[in-house]
Amino acid sequence: MADIVIDHVVKDFGTFQALQDVSLVVEDGEFVALLGPSGCGKTTLLRIIAGLETQTAGRVVIGGRDVSGLTPRKRGLAMVFQNYAVFPHMTVFENVAFGLRMQKASTADVKRKVERAAALLHIDSYLDRYPAKLSGGQRQRVAVARALAVEPAVLLMDEPLSNLDALLRLEMRTELKAVLREAGTTTIYVTHDQTEAMGLADRIAVMYGGKIEQIGSPLEIYATPATRFVGGFIGSPPMNFIKVRCEQGIVRIGNITLPCPAGCEDMELGLRGEDAMIAADGSGIPFDVRVVEPMGSHLLLTGSINGQLARIVAPPTATINAGERVALKADPSRLTWIDSNTGRAVGRA
Amino acid sequence: MTTSLSQAPASGAPRAYMLPSARRFLLWTGLVALLAWVLVPIYFVALGAFGGRTGVFRWPKSIWPSDLSVAPMMQFLNIEGVFNALMNSFIAAGLTVVFSILLGAPAGYALARYTFRGQNAYRLLVLLTRAFPLAILALPLTVSFIRIGLYDTPFGVSLIHTVLALPFAALVTQSLFMGIPREYEEAAWVFGCTRFQAFVKVVLPLALPGLAATAIFAFVISWNEVFAASILTVRERTLTAYLLKILSESPLHYRFAGGFILIIPSVLFIFAVRRYLFAVWGIASK
Ligand SMILES: Nc1ncnc2c1ncn2[C@@H]1O[C@H](COP(=O)(O)OP(=O)(O)OP(=O)(O)O)[C@@H](O)[C@H]1O
Ligand SMILES: [Mg+2]
């Protein structure tokens, strides 16, 4: 059992608060992605879990054991560093073998496990090179192999694929997922690439400004964002937000009315570009198309709703010209309502 | 050359052709001048040392050695006390190297890795040890060395030499350790190392070139130091101090032999640790 409980963790750097009361539970064998913009505290959280940084307040519990005061080596985990931290004075083989050697594994064991990890990451042909003679992406794969080789119960990865080309990244992503699932490794995976997070994770924790904004399955995060930030951060194109006024549970846009949750007046209607359909009968949310970009699989329309910027995805066969006004329909259950004052979604069970 | 010529635009071709060779010429003359600057005096000292009594006074000097013999060298080494002084010098310099690394490197590591109250004051203090002229300290030092029983021992001399070398050792190792990213150590901790193991397995090998340079410096400081060594010893002189005393009343070729013996160990020591001066694994990753 190696579940991770992060219990109200706070981290101050002097007067700057890098983490504000972060709580997160990662089940045994679960794969959780930490997703967020640069500087939101992802690395800081990972380093606190690893014991490389001391939290100002809060606890970290791994496998039922409070590790808050333990040194990194006593926490029984492996980590892939954002800047790789591959040892320059050791060959690739010795780098990958480092953790195993520290565990006093037998020579045969070391060789077998190193070769397995190296094969997985396609670095088996550079095993006797020094890191200085590797490219950035190759070095990064050495760092991942070093962490996988020890077959840890808990694996922390800080943007482990950021330096690979798109094709290799896709391949590594699927292989990583398969290997970690098979081994039942509890994984926390930091990334700012949302497709990576969506594809890999059982659950995604979206971080922003030192806080976790929302935790949920990729689909939940996508379909029902808890805050304005999450809606705008996830999805391509990002969610459209249109300022509206809610009066007696009704919102008027153009010539239609939509029911809206009660509770506040100034609201924003969150509409995913993919969820909007172009109404044949011309009645719906009015959308003034300014630019049409054919993307192959779809048309990306940029324009405005009520004078506010919006991006809508239309089928590739639709015939829409710039300058046209079209009407949009959407399934009411797929709309998100945001309280303009708090930035949080309202009216959700 | 022809390829660079054909690639360069026609008008710029002559310059593009001239520049590299001019630069190469400068580089080589620079190298030769530098080598000559260092090696020619050593060569003449060696000529004097091995050329015997007549060789030293012959004029015009011949560049090529004639009637070389090790006899003057052996005679010199057989002078009463020279061999003993040589040993004392080795002991003092060796201990100085050991002490300055053992004391200086941890201080440098602390300065590089930890922020603590009074850090800047501490750094200043380290340098201040060099602010007191040895001449002022000489008398009280002699008195207390006699009292403790350190007087007239190479060990006592090495302590003073360590004081001279220590500020340099601490500050150089500080910048040395600062150049080694903390993440290497952190990775070692995560993969099962204690702090000490991480230091030995990761930091030390990476720091070796700089430590070698520090060792050379400490060795040379101790080997060449005359004043403290002369004051704190009577019979157990280091070679430098001993030679200073006896050479003024020796024939010229003995002086050359003494000079030669003074030069050689430093050169040999530098030669021995040169491998560590250059990073063997080309640390390009930062
Ligand atoms: N040692 C430190 N001292 C002071 N501030 C720090 C320190 N480490 C991190 N910070 C600050 O804490 C915040 C979070 O940093 P962190 O490295 O966790 O970001 P991140 O989410 O990993 O970003 P990125 O995606 O760019 O790696 C940043 O604003 C950073 O400036
Ligand atoms: Mg980071």
Superfamily of domain B76-285, CATH level 4: MetI-like (1.10.3720.10)
Residue B171 reports pLDDT greater than 50: yes
Three-class SS state of A272:
coil
Contact between A77 and B202 using a beta-carbon 8 Å cutoff: no
Tokens describing residue A92: 């690739």
Residues in chain A closer than 8 A to B206 (CB atoms): 88-89
Residue B136 reports pLDDT greater than 90: no
The nearest CA of chain A is from the CA of B101 a distance in Å of 21
Is pLDDT larger for residue B75 or for residue B98? Answer: B98
Confidence of residue A256 (pLDDT cuts 50, 70, 90): confident
Nearest chain B residue (CA) to A51? B190
Q: Does B194 touch chain A (CB under 8 A)?
A: yes
Tokens describing residue A181: 């699932």
What CATH code is carried by the domain that includes residue A136? 3.40.50.300
Torsion angle in degrees (nearest 10) through CA of B130, B131, B134, B139: -120
Q: Is A134 a domain residue?
A: yes
Find residue A10's DSSP bridge partners.
Answer: A57
Q: Running DSSP on this structure, what letter comes out for residue A237?
A: T
Q: Are A35 and A97 in contact (CB under 8 A)?
A: no
Contact between B183 and A81 using a beta-carbon 8 Å cutoff: yes
Least confident of A33-47, A293-307, B6-20, B183-197: B6-20
Peptide bond into B60 cis (omega under 30): yes
Both A257 and A166 in a single domain? Answer: no
Closest ligand 1 atom, residue A46 Cα: 18
Contact between B190 and A131 using a beta-carbon 8 Å cutoff: no
Query: Which ligand is in closest contact with the Cα of A41?
Result: 1
- In angstroms and rounded to an integer, the radius of gyration of the C-alpha atoms of chain A is 24
Q: Running DSSP on this structure, what letter comes out for residue A227?
A: B
Q: Which amino acid is at A12?
A: D
The last residue of a domain, from among A189, A223, A257: A223
Question: DSSP string of B76-138?
Answer: HHHSTTHHHHHHHHHHHHHHHHHHHHHHHHHHHHHHHH---TTHHHHHHHHHHTTTS-HHHHH
Both A185 and A264 in a single domain? Answer: no
The nearest CA of chain B is from the CA of A329 a distance in Å of 53
Q: How do the domains of chain B map onto residue ranges?
A: 14-69, 76-285
Residues in chain A closer than 8 A to B186 (CB atoms): 52, 72, 81, 85
Both A34 and A166 in a single domain? Answer: yes
Task: Give percent of chain B with pLDDT exceeding 70.
Answer: 83
Q: Are B49 and B256 in contact (CB under 8 A)?
A: yes
ipTM score assigned to the predicted complex: 0.89
Q: Is A170 a domain residue?
A: yes
Tokens describing residue B257: 């032999």
The arithmetic mean of pLDDT across residues B85-96, rounded, is 93
Both A15 and A120 in a single domain? Answer: yes
CA B116 – ligand 1 centroid, Å: 22
Residue A111 reports pLDDT greater than 80: yes
Q: Does B206 touch chain A (CB under 8 A)?
A: yes
The arithmetic mean of pLDDT across residues A259-267, rounded, is 84
Closest ligand 1 atom, residue A11 Cα: 12
What is chain B's mean pLDDT, rounded?
81
Is pLDDT larger for residue A36 or for residue B8? Answer: A36
Closest ligand 1 atom, residue A40 Cα: 21
Contact between B189 and A71 using a beta-carbon 8 Å cutoff: yes
Three-class SS state of A343:
coil
Three-class SS state of A160:
coil
Q: Is A231 a domain residue?
A: no
Interface of B with A in 241-260 (CB under 8 A): none
Nearest chain B residue (CA) to A84? B183
Q: Is A160 a domain residue?
A: yes
How far apart CA B279 and CA B213 sit, in angstroms, is 12
Contact between B189 and A73 using a beta-carbon 8 Å cutoff: yes
Both A248 and A203 in a single domain? Answer: no
Is pLDDT larger for residue B73 or for residue B177? Answer: B177
Q: Is A229 a domain residue?
A: no
What is chain A's mean pLDDT, rounded?
93
What CATH code is carried by the domain that includes residue A274? 2.40.50.140
The last residue of a domain, from among A223, A248, A277: A223
Tokens describing residue A219: 């689909």
Both A37 and A185 in a single domain? Answer: yes
Contact between A87 and B192 using a beta-carbon 8 Å cutoff: no
Max CA distance (Å), chain B: 82
Q: Does B155 touch chain A (CB under 8 A)?
A: no
Of residues B248, B111, B258, B235, the one with CA closest to residue B175: B111
Using alpha carbons only, give the angle A29, A32, A36 rounded to the nearest 5 degrees. Answer: 165
Both A216 and A242 in a single domain? Answer: no
Find residue A111's DSSP bridge partners.
Answer: none
Phi-psi sector, A51: left (phi>0), alpha (psi -120 to 50), beta: left
Both A272 and A193 in a single domain? Answer: no
Query: For ligand 1, atom 1, which residue shows the shortest CA distance?
Result: A13
Residue A138 reports pLDDT greater than 80: yes
Confidence of residue B2 (pLDDT cuts 50, 70, 90): very low
Least confident of A74-78, A257-261, B200-204: A257-261
- How many structural domains are present in chain A? 2
Q: Is A193 a domain residue?
A: yes
Give every CB contact of residue B135 below 8 A, 6+ residues apart in sequence. B227
Both A191 and A252 in a single domain? Answer: no
Both A165 and A266 in a single domain? Answer: no
pLDDT digits (tens, 9 = 90+) for A55-108: 999 999 999 999 999 999 999 999 999 999 999 999 999 999 999 999 999 999
CA A39 – ligand 1 centroid, Å: 5
Confidence of residue A280 (pLDDT cuts 50, 70, 90): confident
The range of the structural domain enclosing residue A249 comes to 236-348
Q: Does B180 touch chain A (CB under 8 A)?
A: no
Confidence of residue B13 (pLDDT cuts 50, 70, 90): very low
Is pLDDT larger for residue B280 or for residue A69? Answer: A69
Both A35 and A140 in a single domain? Answer: yes
Both A145 and A260 in a single domain? Answer: no
